[in-house]
């Protein structure tokens, strides 16, 4: 490395150094001398120290020592003190008591003075020393110390080779002179010299073993000097003082002039107004133990201009005695957790409210829908008609949709008893475990709704042991539901032609069934409070219970005939094969239509043949014509069911056949009334029961058999009835008279 490189290096280093350490002097003035900072109001070059007062002029000698009045400056305090190193005075002797060396130090401080925090100190065992000052009284002080042997003394300077005395404040001149009583001849072995010096209080610890010899070779001691600005007090200076921003003026302790101090919480040079002036101390981050915050935790510290705050997180209060945060008596949470919780709870509440509203709306909609169905299904009409018709014989119960669903196991297929023209019949089990039949209209057939209501109305007027009992209805569903008593053993049609035909009804059974049906129809025609025409009498509408007792069912087509009217003009309705041709042609309905249909039923009972059978020859397709022609041609035995006829009942069969043919006469007027038919059949039975009592009750064997059948039995219509659904086809919309 050559010289140029070295210089360059030094230059760079110096530059970096001056940049690193902030200057404390006036702008453009040298602020350092060696390692010592030069602080304004002191300076080394003209214009850089205070107001041309030479007392503030320092020099930086060739070895980079800052010099004031011949003494090296240690440091400069803003509060009016200057610490310098001052040389001691001494006098030394040889063994003979000949003085071999002396140095008396004196100092003149200009406008600076000695601080009273200095001590005048003399060291030696045969010593006395003077301190001469100048000023008021020109007075002197001193101390003496004698000893014959070194007394072990550590630290304190109080006799035994060392003495100390205080010095007055405010003197700018002193002279220190040490003397010996007897030229150290008696103590020369361990103490050849006397020393005297000024030293800052506490900065000299006397050790008798070391210091009596040669003061440990220490030649300079720190001394404090006082300085102040001008001769005026703060009050006198007023706003002419040189105290800058964030600083306060205070009168000098030495009696003349003032000094400036940064305000509490600020640090810097109070005589400067730039960035080196009094600046706010960040108490929260400073290393200085004097300025450091006393909050219990640094994280709670908050710096303010000249101050700091010990802030506490929300929910905590500051205890100003200990500057620590203590939790509030009633904690209030507004942290993120709380906000999150609050938001969540709020959201959940909102969802709850929304779902509640939705539920309500759905419920309302459901209710509205049910009400709508109820109206559509004629609920209003029914209630009106029921209340309007006065006393009703049947308690019609209104079932709920829910109840129906539960009863039918949600309309399970396994519960279907039968399907027919009017709809589907389900087996239902009510909550009280009673078994019922539930008839459900076919969907999308509004004409059936009317029939349902009609049936409810008609059945509500009837209370007869041979009429299937209506228990109630449900109108809240899309299609109305009717609830009947459960009849176990299926229809007469099934027994004669259908799935149960092998159960072979005896003539006695058949006659009894015929009598019961005839009696029922007679009752409907005359004895009920309002005459009723069934309009759809057929074997498929006659149910049999476990005792094979007939129960007339399906009043969907029935009509109530007002008392004052013999007949009624209606749309033609009925089932082909049973339909009264006169009614079919004219649309005029009267009780004789039922008589015709009953005649067909009676013929079925006698012959075991279906009302319409396309397998028979053309002219005898219809049972009525087939039967009538056989009767006419005296070959009745050909058409009577082989299971029925025997040698005992020929007369009865003959008579019954005659009644059947009479009932099916083309002209209604020629047909007997239902009452008369019932009476004839009744009489036939009466003569019969005289001979065979046992016929009134089924034989035990038969009962057993019928119970077994119960499972297979169906109530109402069965899909096996090929022509039942032709009914609607046959419905002619003859509106004569309307």
Ligand X SMILES: *[C@@H]1O[C@H](CO)[C@@H](O)[C@H](O)[C@H]1NC(C)=O
Cite the active site residues. 536
Least distance from ligand X to the Cβ atom of residue 131, Å: 14
Residue of the chain from 2, 19, 239, 410 that contacts ligand X (CB under 6 A): 239
Q: Which residues in 404-443 contact ligand X (CB under 6 A)?
A: none
- 282: contact with ligand X by CB under 6 A: no
In angstroms, give the least distance from the CB of 44 to ligand X: 13
Interaction between residue 101 and ligand X (CB under 6 A) = no
| Among 722, 475, 439, 447, residue whose Cα is nearest residue 554 | 439
Helix, strand, or coil (residue 737): coil
The Cα 717–Cα 501 span in angstroms is: 15
Per CB under 6 A, does 327 bind ligand X?
A: no
DSSP state of 539: G
Among 134, 327, 360, 651, binds ligand X (CB under 6 A): 134
Which residue number, 34 or 335, has a Cβ lying nearer to ligand X?
34
Query: Under 8 Å CB-to-CB from 306, ≥6 apart: which residues?
Result: 246, 263, 264, 265, 266, 280, 281
Which region among 148-156, 388-396, 624-632, 662-670 touches ligand X (by CB under 6 A)? 148-156
Contact 425, 435 (CB under 8 A): no
Q: How many residues bind ligand X (CB under 6 A)?
A: 41
Between CA 108 and CA 118, with CA 112 as vertex, the angle to 5 degrees is 85
Residues 180-199 that bind ligand X (CB under 6 A): 182-183
Task: Output the smallest distance, CB 285 to ligand X, in A.
Answer: 9
User: Where does this chain touch ligand X (CB under 6 A) — which range of 63-71, 422-430, 551-559, 670-678?
Assistant: 63-71
Closest approach, Cβ 65 to ligand X, in A, equals: 4
Q: Classify burial at 733, counting beta carbons within 10 Å of its beta carbon; exposed 0-12, middle 13-18, buried 19 or more.
A: exposed
Tokens of 207: 């050790």
Query: Nearer Cβ to ligand X, position 269 or 575?
Result: 269
Give least dist CB 67 to ligand X, A.
Answer: 6
**53 sits near ligand X (criterion: CB under 6 A):** yes
Among 29, 74, 144, 203, the residue binding ligand X under the rule CB under 6 A is 203
- Pick the piece of the chain touching ligand X (CB under 6 A) from 115-123, 233-241, 360-368, 498-506: 233-241
Answer yes or no whether residue 158 interacts with ligand X by CB under 6 A.
no
Q: How far is CA 189 from CA 89, 399, 458, 573, in A?
A: 21, 136, 154, 160
Rg (CA), the chain: 68
Q: Does 319 contact ligand X by CB under 6 A?
A: yes
Examine residue 207 and tell whether it contacts ligand X (CB under 6 A).
yes
Q: Is 599 left (phi over 0), alpha (psi -120 to 50) or beta?
A: alpha
Supply the minimum distance, in Å, between the C-beta of residue 229 and ligand X: 9
46 near ligand X, rule: CB under 6 A: no
CB of 169 to ligand X, least distance (A): 17
Of the candidates 200, 201, 190, 196, the residue with the CA atom closest to the CA atom of residue 219: 196
Q: If binding is defined by CB under 6 A, does position 298 make contact with ligand X?
A: no
Asked if residue 289 binds ligand X (CB under 6 A), the reply is no
Task: Kindly report the number of other CB atoms within 10 A of residue 190's CB atom.
Answer: 15
With CB under 6 A as the contact rule, which of the stretches 314-322, 463-471, 657-665, 692-700 interacts with ligand X? Answer: 314-322
Q: How far from chain centre, in Å, is Cα 472?
A: 47
Q: Is residue 305 near ligand X by the rule CB under 6 A?
A: no
The minimum distance between CB 226 and ligand X, in angstroms, equals 13
Range in contact with ligand X (rule: CB under 6 A) among 158-166, 200-208, 607-615, 652-660: 200-208
Residue with tokens 């009510």: 430
| Binding of residue 108 to ligand X (CB under 6 A) | no
Choice from 35, 391, 618, 634 touching ligand X (CB under 6 A): 35
**What's the closest the beta carbon of residue 342 comes to ligand X, in angstroms?**
29
Work out which of 45, 79, 111, 186 binds ligand X, going by CB under 6 A: 111
Q: Does 629 bind ligand X (CB under 6 A)?
A: no
Pick from 6, 46, 238, 380 the residue near ligand X by CB under 6 A.
238
Alpha-carbon distance of 177 to 222, in angstroms, equals 18
Given 1, 20, 148, 152, the residue binding ligand X (CB under 6 A): 152
C-alpha–C-alpha distance, residues 325 and 310, integer Å = 8
Quick one: which of 261, 323, 406, 720 contacts ligand X (CB under 6 A)?
323
**Residue 384 in the binding site for ligand X (CB under 6 A):** no
Residue 13, C-beta contacts closer than 8 angstroms, at least 6 positions apart: none
Residue 14 within binding range of ligand X, rule CB under 6 A: no
Q: Considering only residues 2, 289, 321, 667, which one is a binding residue for ligand X as defined by CB under 6 A?
A: 321
* 532: β partners: 560
* Shortest separation between residue 357's beta carbon and ligand X, angstroms: 50
CA distances from 644 to 540, 648, 649, 660 (A): 20, 10, 8, 16
Nearer to ligand X, 257 or 498 (CB): 257
- Residues 6 or more apart whose CB falls under 8 angstroms from that of 453 comprise 377, 378, 381, 382, 385, 480
Which of 22, 98, 362, 465 binds ligand X (CB under 6 A)? It is: 98
Helices 507-522 & 674-691 angle (0-180, nearest 10):
150
SS3 of residue 593 by DSSP: helix
- Is 338 a binding residue for ligand X by CB under 6 A? The answer is no
The piece of 202-210, 414-422, 465-473, 634-642 that touches ligand X (CB under 6 A) is 202-210
What single-letter DSSP state applies at residue 582? Answer: H
Adjacent-strand bridge partners of 85: 72, 222
Strand ranges in 320-467 using DSSP code E only, listed in sequence order: 324-327, 397-398, 416-420, 423-429, 435-441
Minimal distance in Å, beta carbon 8 to ligand X?
21
Is 219 a binding residue for ligand X by CB under 6 A? The answer is no
Q: Rounded to the nearest whole angstrom, what is the least distance from the CB of residue 11 to ligand X in the complex?
A: 18
State the Cα–Cα distance between residues 194 and 93, nearest whole angstrom. Answer: 9
Report the SS3 class of residue 143.
strand
Question: Beta partners for 423?
Answer: 420, 441
**Residue 214 near ligand X by CB under 6 A:** yes
Q: Per rule CB under 6 A, is residue 267 in the interface with ligand X?
A: no
Determine contact, residues 22/269, Cβ cutoff 8 Å. no
> What are φ and ψ of residue 52, in 5° steps?
70, 10
Q: How far apart are CA 488 and CA 544, in angstroms?
A: 7
Task: For strands 105-108 and 66-68, give the pairing.
Answer: unpaired
User: Contact between 235 and ligand X (CB under 6 A)?
Assistant: no
Residue with tokens 């159960």: 503
Separation CA 259–CA 77 (nearest Å)? 10
* Contact between 155 and ligand X per CB under 6 A: yes
Phi, psi of 350, rounded to the nearest 5 degrees: -60, -45
Answer yes or no whether residue 591 interacts with ligand X by CB under 6 A.
no
Closest separation between CB of residue 272 and ligand X, Å?
19
Candidate list 65, 102, 169, 376; residue touching ligand X; CB under 6 A: 65
Residues that bind ligand X (CB under 6 A): 34-35, 53-55, 61-65, 67, 72, 97-99, 110-111, 134, 138, 152, 154-155, 182-183, 203, 205, 207, 214, 216-217, 230-231, 238-240, 287, 294, 319, 321-323
């Amino acid at each position: 490395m050559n010289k140029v490189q070295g210089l360059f290096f030094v230059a760079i280093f110096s530059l970096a150094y001056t940049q690193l350490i902030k200057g404390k002097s006036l702008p453009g003035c040298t602020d350092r001398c060696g390692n010592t900072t030069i602080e304004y109001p002191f300076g080394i070059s003209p214009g850089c120290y205070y107001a041309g007062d030479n007392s503030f002029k320092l020099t930086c000698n060739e070895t980079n020592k800052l010099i004031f009045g011949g003494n090296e400056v240690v440091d400069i305090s803003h509060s009016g003190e200057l610490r310098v190193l001052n040389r001691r005075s001494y006098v030394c002797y040889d063994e003979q008591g000949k003085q071999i060396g002396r140095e008396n130090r004196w100092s003149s401080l200009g406008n600076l003075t000695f601080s009273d925090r200095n001590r005048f100190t003399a060291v030696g065992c045969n010593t006395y020393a003077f301190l001469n000052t100048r000023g008021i009284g020109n007075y002197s002080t001193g101390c003496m110390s004698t000893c014959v042997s070194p007394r072990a003394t550590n630290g304190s300077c109080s006799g035994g080779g060392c003495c100390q005395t205080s010095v007055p404040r405010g003197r700018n001149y002193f002279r220190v002179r040490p003397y010996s009583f007897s030229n150290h001849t008696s103590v020369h072995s361990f103490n050849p010299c006397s020393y005297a010096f000024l030293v800052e209080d506490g900065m000299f610890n006397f050790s008798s073993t070391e210091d009596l010899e040669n003061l440990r070779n220490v030649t300079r001691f720190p001394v404090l000097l006082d300085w102040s600005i001008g001769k005026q007090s703060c009050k006198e200076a007023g706003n002419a003082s040189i105290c800058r921003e964030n600083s306060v003026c205070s009168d000098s302790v030495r009696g003349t002039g003032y000094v400036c101090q940064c305000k509490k919480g600020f640090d810097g040079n109070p005589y400067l107004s730039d960035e080196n002036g009094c600046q706010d101390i960040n108490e929260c981050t400073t290393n200085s133990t004097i300025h450091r915050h006393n909050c219990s935790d640094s994280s709670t510290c908050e710096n303010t201009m000249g101050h700091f705050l010990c802030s506490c997180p929300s929910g905590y209060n500051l205890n100003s005695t200990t500057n620590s945060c203590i939790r509030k008596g009633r904690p209030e949470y507004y942290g993120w957790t709380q906000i999150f919780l609050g938001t969540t709870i709020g959201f959940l509440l909102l969802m709850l409210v929304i779902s509640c509203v939705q539920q309500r709306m759905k419920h309302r909609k459901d209710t509205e829908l049910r009400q709508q169905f109820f109206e559509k299904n004629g609920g209003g009409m029914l209630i009106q008609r029921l209340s309007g018709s006065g006393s009703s014989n049947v308690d019609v119960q209104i079932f709920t949709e829910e109840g129906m669903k539960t009863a039918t196991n949600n309309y399970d297929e396994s519960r279907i008893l039968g399907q027919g023209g009017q709809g589907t019949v389900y087996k239902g089990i009510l909550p009280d475990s009673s078994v019922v039949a539930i008839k459900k209209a076919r969907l999308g057939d509004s004409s059936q709704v009317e029939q349902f209501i009609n049936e409810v109305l008609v059945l509500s007027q009837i209370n007869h042991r041979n009429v299937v009992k209506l228990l109630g209805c449900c109108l809240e569903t899309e299609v109305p539901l009717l609830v009947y008593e459960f009849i176990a053993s299926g229809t007469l049609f099934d027994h004669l032609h259908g799935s149960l035909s092998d159960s072979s009804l005896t003539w006695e059974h058949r006659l009894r069934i015929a009598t019961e049906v005839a009696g029922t129809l007679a009752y409907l025609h005359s004895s009920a409070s309002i005459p009723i025409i069934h309009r759809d009498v057929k074997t498929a509408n006659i149910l049999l219970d476990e005792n094979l007792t007939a129960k007339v069912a399906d009043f969907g087509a029935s009509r109530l005939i007002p008392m004052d009217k013999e007949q009624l003009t209606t749309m033609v309705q009925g089932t082909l094969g049973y339909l009264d041709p006169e009614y079919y042609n004219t649309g005029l309905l009267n009780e004789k239509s039922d008589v015709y249909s009953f005649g067909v039923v009676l013929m079925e009972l006698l012959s075991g043949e279906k009302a319409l059978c396309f397998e028979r020859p053309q002219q005898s397709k219809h049972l009525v014509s087939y039967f009538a022609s056989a009767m006419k041609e005296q070959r009745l035995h050909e058409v009577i069911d082989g299971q029925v006829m025997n040698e005992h009942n020929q007369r009865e069969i003959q008579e019954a056949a005659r009644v059947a043919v009479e009932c099916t006469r083309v002209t209604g007027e020629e047909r007997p009334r239902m009452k008369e038919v019932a009476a004839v059949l009744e009489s036939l039975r009466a003569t019969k029961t005289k001979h065979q009592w046992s016929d009134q009750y089924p034989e035990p064997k038969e009962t057993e058999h019928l119970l077994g059948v119960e499972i297979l039995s169906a109530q109402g219509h069965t899909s096996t009835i090929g022509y039942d659904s032709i009914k609607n086809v046959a419905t002619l919309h003859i509106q004569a008279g309307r």
